[in-house]
Amino acid sequence: MDRRTKRIIRISAVSAGSVLLLLLVGTAVVLNFVFTPSKLTPVVERIADRSLNARLRMGGVELTFFSTFPRFGVKLTDGTLVSTALRDTLWQRTDTLLTFRKAVLVFNPVSYLRHRKIDILKLSVDSADVYAFRDGTGRANWDILPSADTLASGTAADTTADTVRTVSEISVRHVALRHGSVTFDDRETKVFANIRDAGLRLRARLGEGHSMLALDFRNRNILFWQDGELLVNRVATRLRASVELDRAQRTLTLHDALLGINGTELDLTGTVRRDTAAAGALLLDLRYGLHAPSLETVLHMIPESVLKRGEVAADGEVRISGAVKGPYGRQALPLATLDAEIKDASARYAGMPYGVDALDARLVGQVDPMRREPSFCNLEIFRFKGAHTDILADAEVKNLLDDPLVSFHTKSAVDLTALAQTFPLQEGVALSGKLEAELRMSCRLSALRNRDLGRIRARGRVVMDSLALRDTARKFEFTSSASLSFAGDDRLDAEAEIRHASLRSPRLSSSMERLAATVRTTNPQDTTRIARMECTMTLNRLKAAAGDSLSLFCGRGTATVRLQPGKRDPAKPKVGLALEADTLFCRVGDSRMGMDRAGIGVTAEKLRDSVWIPEGIVGFSRLVVSTPQCALPIRMEKTSVTVGNRAVTLRNATMRIGRSDLTASGVVHDLYGAMRRRRPLRAELSLSSRNLNCNQLIRAVSFPADTLRIEADTAATDLKLFVVPKNIDFALHTDFRRVRYGKFVFEDVRGAVDVRDGAVHLKGLAMKGLDAVMHTTLLYQAVRPERGYVGFDFRLRRINVGKLVEFTPSLDSIVPMLRSFRGTVDFDVSAEADLDSALNIRIPTLRSAIRLRGDSLVLMDGETFAEISKKFFFKNKERNLIDSIAVNISVKDGYVTVYPFAVAMDRYRAAVGGTQDLDMNFDYHISILKSPIPFKLGLNITGNLDDMKFRLGRAKYKNLVTPVEIHKVDSTVSGLGRQIVRDFKRRIGRIPEERRPPARDTTHSSGRNPRPLSGL
């Protein structure tokens, strides 16, 4: 090659490369700076809004070249297409037709410019959701294309109309849909369908007269509902088909279509065309049949989780065919038929000792949703021979869509042990035993739904000998040896003997050693009433469990079950059970109950679906109940319990809880709801007891897991604050002969107790204790173990002062003068305060009104008394007798106020009063009203217990102990007490999360000395 030629080639290559580079640079500039997504997106949205009856909104629109080289394309992201054919503001958003994450369209613009042909080279859509909705009036959200009249009425300048009229052909070379979801919601025909995780590959050529379409579709699951009933679920499908569209005839024809359903492949052919007689309706004429029909194909339809895929030699004729024909549209659904037949078939799996010697079957079915034709399903014959097994059966289901009448007949001898060696079962799946059956039976589905079991017609027998079905992968096992015989042409009469039965599964487990039963039915002629049926049985060692939360055990027992018409509605059943068992055990969650010599006589009448009303009597010789909320079991002796009207009635039910005994009479409401659904447990009970150990009961509730500590220790030194469960609502009336609380013993405790909303309310309890008569009103609440609340009103008569201080240790800090007295007093106190974790009163939160009355009291020797006796020259400086005393005390805001009271002692009559704070700082005053001294004087006592100061002064209280003033003080303190009682009673029925200390009362002085009564 000469130099001139090389130069020309080099110049040409450089020029071509420069031009190509300029084109690429220009394309990059145009794509990135001219036709940017921010400019293209609103243009495309406006064009779509004008061209469609819908609103299109996208995250971005951009032109592509390099990613779709050498073609130009359009990339759409985060798109939403909302139909304007429907106006929907509800949360379902039924007007949203399409959403997608990403879509890429590659087309050939040259084909359109030259031949008026739209050539789509590639269309891929990722993560698209289609929601096709049609309301009850027939309006659909997919009607988004303009009508032909609208297009014809447009102007000549309407480029959209021109384009539609001038397009000669549309070619689609490749369409791909990945991870799509399609929902079809037709309210007009009451059809709902959902297709999940769909994938689609499509090629199409759309011409003016004919169009061709090739598609390959598959999905993970199909959900199909009709008239509120679930018809199809967990169905994976695949459709591979060639479709021809004839625009002139408005007909869609399927060619060589293959439909796969859960691995079973069917050939599908037929047509779908528009119904000219009904607007918006389609006429379907589809036919289907089994693809490559053979017995091997049928055997492969058995789920692989049960049967291994293996080499099988099969022979015989297999035919499965059917049709879907008729209109589909508003209030119209097509007719579906099925005809399946296996004739003169045999098979043997490689390596298996037995085979199928003969198999014949014929199944015919028809379903007409419009009920113009009968709907039925008939198994005309099923015959199986091989592996020491001979099965002959037929069945028929009439009136399939209304009230199906099911008829079944069989004469079979089955050797499951040999069958397990005929088919290659999966690992863990095992069959064994023998089954013989010669049975003819029939019943309507409504009889089973309505529990009208007496209308089952059955004659024949079934014998199971060491029958066993196991699937270790699903944790399922069933074993049984039993015989059943039926005799009744128009009713259910049966006898059953189960020598052994066992069922194990994740949801339900049961076992039984022996059961003998007899069933008799009477009066089945009246179809408007439940037929009367009675079943008597004897059983031995019945065990049943539902999951981990419910279990039942029954030892030896006899039972009678009766089924009869209900009193409220004879068309609804009433079930009666009479059971006698030597041992009965039940567990619900962590709660357990056991009975000895149990007798149960209950009935349950059905009101509506899943709602039954039980009533009857449950009796037992001994019962033990344990719950996780209490460390002590509840033991009951011979008792009968009445059940009815969602309540349990007790009559003198005697129980023992630890060292306490109780006898209860009354009603407990909704016990099942409290145990299973955590509803409030309500009860109205009268309780009596010979001995009640509150120390042990409180610890059993406070420490439910520490059973050894509860049983071994009954001392009250470690009592803790206990939280009353919120789901208890008890109204109790008590009559306790002996009650132990702390170190004290009370007798003849009578009154009302309410336990509600996490609080205990003692309402006017009367009792004897501390050698005194007591009347008590109390409210106790605790929302957590660290802090509680108590409000009480005590009335104690003729109580020893020493025992009073021992019973209320905090009283010694509030009224320290009591430690110097000996004798009996009447003591009234109304108070409210917070409690700490050890059940001690938190003194800063205490608000109280105290009244103390006594006579013939002895003032004992002490430092304070010695100092006072020295100041006033008492004759007896060791002890002095006080004729009477009446003291009013109030506690508020951390201050104790002792109102002036008169006291006669030695040769003196004095008035005593004062205040003190919680740090035991005193400011008391004694006014001498009568003495050998010819004038009145006073003694001021200040300081604390370690440093007390005594000073003589003037008498401050000489006019404050007259009958009128004393009456005013009594009225004031009594009013404060009544107000305290009203305040804590208001708390009944509510539990605050946090109780704050009481606010200061500005009507009382917070100083050292009490104000005059006019200021109270």
Q: Does some domain include residue 685?
A: yes
Q: Do 222 and 174 sit in the same domain of this protein? A: yes
| pLDDT (0 to 100) of residue 387 | 92
Torsional class of 689: left (φ above 0), alpha (ψ -120 to 50), beta (otherwise):
beta
For 31, 64, 271, the CA distances from 27, given in Å and listed in that order, are 6, 10, 48
Q: Do 618 and 656 sit in the same domain of this protein? A: no
% of residues, the chain, pLDDT over 70: 82
Say if residue 392's pLDDT is above 90: yes
CB 754 within 8 A of CB 778: no
Which of these, 150, 147, 133, lies nearest to 82 by C-alpha position?
133
Q: Do 83 and 201 sit in the same domain of this protein? A: yes
Which of these, 188, 180, 181, lies nearest to 139 by C-alpha position?
188
Q: Do 845 and 982 sit in the same domain of this protein? A: yes
The two structure tokens encoding residue 23: 């084109």
CB 899 within 8 A of CB 884: no
Q: Do 616 and 672 sit in the same domain of this protein? A: no
% of residues, the chain, pLDDT over 90: 14
Mean pLDDT confidence for 953-972: 73
Higher pLDDT, 442 or 820: 442
| pLDDT (0 to 100) of residue 733 | 92
Of the CA atoms within 13 Å of residue 282, those in its CB half-sphere come to: 15
Residue with tokens 């702390």: 742
Say if residue 938's pLDDT is above 80: yes
Q: Does some domain include residue 670?
A: yes
CB 833 within 8 A of CB 847: yes
Higher pLDDT, 245 or 115: 245
DSSP character at residue 569: -
Q: Does some domain include residue 505?
A: no
3-class DSSP assignment, residue 151: helix
Higher pLDDT, 323 or 117: 323
For 71, 241, 668, the CA distances from 820, given in Å and listed in that order, are 111, 108, 51
Say if residue 1016's pLDDT is above 70: no
Q: Does some domain include residue 523?
A: no
Tell me the residue type at 372.
R
The two structure tokens encoding residue 31: 């794509």
Residue with tokens 């010694």: 812
| pLDDT (0 to 100) of residue 27 | 61
Higher pLDDT, 164 or 187: 187
CB 455 within 8 A of CB 524: yes
pLDDT tier for residue 187 given thresholds of 50, 70 and 90 = confident
Is the link from the previous residue into 37 a cis peptide, with omega within 30 of 0? Answer: no
Within 8 A by CB and 6+ apart from 52, the residues are: 144, 145, 146
Last residue of one domain, picked from the residues 628, 663, 685: 628
650: number of Cβ within 10 Å: 21
| pLDDT (0 to 100) of residue 737 | 92
| Torsion from C-alpha of 198, 201, 202, 203, nearest 10 degrees | 180
976-1011 per-position pLDDT tens digit: 667 766 776 666 544 433 333 333 333 333 333 333
Higher pLDDT, 129 or 546: 129
pLDDT tier for residue 412 given thresholds of 50, 70 and 90 = very high
Residue with tokens 């006669």: 904
Of the CA atoms within 13 Å of residue 749, those in its CB half-sphere come to: 28
Higher pLDDT, 281 or 865: 281
Q: Do 746 and 778 sit in the same domain of this protein? A: no
Say if residue 1012's pLDDT is above 50: no
| pLDDT (0 to 100) of residue 599 | 85
Mean pLDDT confidence for 759-765: 86
Which of these, 601, 534, 608, lies nearest to 568 by C-alpha position?
608
Which of these, 905, 938, 944, lies nearest to 922 by C-alpha position?
944
Pick the range with the lowest mean pLDDT from 54-58, 408-412, 430-434.
Answer: 54-58
The secondary structure of the chain in percent helix, strand, coil, rounded to multiples of 5, reads 15, 55, 30
Pick the range with the lowest mean pLDDT from 295-309, 412-426, 680-694.
Answer: 295-309
Q: Does some domain include residue 962?
A: yes
- Most confident listed range (191-205, 414-428, 638-652): 414-428
Q: Do 212 and 90 sit in the same domain of this protein? A: yes
| pLDDT (0 to 100) of residue 376 | 94
| pLDDT (0 to 100) of residue 1015 | 22
How far apart CA 643 and CA 992 sit, in angstroms, is 36
How far apart CA 879 and CA 976 sit, in angstroms, is 34
Task: Please give the backbone phi and psi of residue 249, each rounded to the nearest 5 degrees, phi first.
Answer: -90, -5
313-369 per-position pLDDT tens digit: 889 889 889 999 999 887 788 999 999 999 999 999 988 999 999 999 999 999 998
Last residue of one domain, picked from the residues 248, 281, 309: 248
- Averaged pLDDT of the chain: 80
How far apart CA 831 and CA 976 sit, in angstroms, is 10
Residue with tokens 């064994």: 432
Last residue of one domain, picked from the residues 598, 628, 658: 628
How far apart CA 172 and CA 207 sit, in angstroms, is 11
Per-residue b or e along 7-30, where b marks 16 or more CB atoms closer than 10 Å to that residue's CB:
eeeeeeeeeeeeeeeeeeeeeeee
Task: Please give the backbone phi and psi of residue 390, each rounded to the nearest 5 degrees, phi first.
Answer: -135, 110
The tally of domains found in the chain comes to: 4
Q: Do 700 and 605 sit in the same domain of this protein? A: no
Mean pLDDT confidence for 622-647: 83
854-908 per-position pLDDT tens digit: 887 776 555 555 666 666 556 655 556 777 788 888 888 888 888 888 887 767 7
Higher pLDDT, 1009 or 209: 209
Say if residue 417's pLDDT is above 90: yes
| pLDDT (0 to 100) of residue 161 | 42
Say if residue 156's pLDDT is above 60: no
586-606 per-position pLDDT tens digit: 888 788 888 888 888 888 888
Q: Do 649 and 620 sit in the same domain of this protein? A: no
Pick the range with the lowest mean pLDDT from 74-78, 165-169, 270-274, 961-965.
Answer: 165-169
Higher pLDDT, 531 or 29: 531
Structural domain range at position 607 = 530-628
Of the CA atoms within 13 Å of residue 555, those in its CB half-sphere come to: 12
How far apart CA 702 and CA 629 sit, in angstroms, is 9
966: number of Cβ within 10 Å: 18
| pLDDT (0 to 100) of residue 345 | 92
Higher pLDDT, 959 or 870: 959
| pLDDT (0 to 100) of residue 357 | 93
What is the pTM (predicted TM-score) of this model? 0.60
Mean pLDDT confidence for 95-114: 81
For 79, 161, 180, 327, 334, the CA distances from 369, given in Å and listed in that order, are 38, 42, 30, 11, 7
Q: Does some domain include residue 115?
A: yes
Q: Do 606 and 657 sit in the same domain of this protein? A: no
CA 851 from centroid of its chain's CA atoms: 54
Say if residue 285's pLDDT is above 90: yes
Q: Do 571 and 654 sit in the same domain of this protein? A: no
Pick the range with the lowest mean pLDDT from 356-365, 438-447, 840-849.
Answer: 840-849
Tell me the residue type at 456.
I
**Secondary structure E strands in 487-638:** 494-504, 508-522, 532-546, 550-565, 573-588, 591-608, 611-620, 622-626, 634-636
Dihedral of alpha carbons 505, 508, 512, 517, sign:
negative
| pLDDT (0 to 100) of residue 432 | 93
Tell me the residue type at 667.
V
Pick the range with the lowest mean pLDDT from 30-44, 325-339, 621-635, 763-777.
Answer: 30-44
How far apart CA 133 and CA 136 sit, in angstroms, is 10
pLDDT tier for residue 147 given thresholds of 50, 70 and 90 = low
Task: Please give the backbone phi and psi of residue 965, each rounded to the nearest 5 degrees, phi first.
Answer: -70, -40
H-helix or E-strand spanning residue 869: helix 863-872
pLDDT tier for residue 407 given thresholds of 50, 70 and 90 = very high
| pLDDT (0 to 100) of residue 568 | 81
Mean pLDDT confidence for 752-765: 86
Q: Does some domain include residue 588?
A: yes
How far apart CA 653 and CA 636 sit, in angstroms, is 7
Mean pLDDT confidence for 277-299: 82
| pLDDT (0 to 100) of residue 716 | 47
697-747 per-position pLDDT tens digit: 877 777 766 655 565 444 444 567 778 888 888 899 999 999 888 788 889
Mean pLDDT confidence for 808-813: 69
Q: Does some domain include residue 2?
A: no
Burial class (CB in 10 A: 0-12, 13-18, 19+), 705: exposed
Q: Do 113 and 193 sit in the same domain of this protein? A: yes
For 928, 931, 976, the CA distances from 966, given in Å and listed in that order, are 17, 21, 15
DSSP character at residue 696: H
Say if residue 574's pLDDT is above 90: no
642-687 per-position pLDDT tens digit: 887 778 888 888 888 888 898 989 998 877 677 666 778 888 999 9
| pLDDT (0 to 100) of residue 992 | 38
Using only C-alpha atoms, the chain has a radius of gyration, in whole angstroms, of 47
Within 8 A by CB and 6+ apart from 85, the residues are: 53, 54, 95, 139, 140, 141, 142, 143, 144
3-class DSSP assignment, residue 815: coil
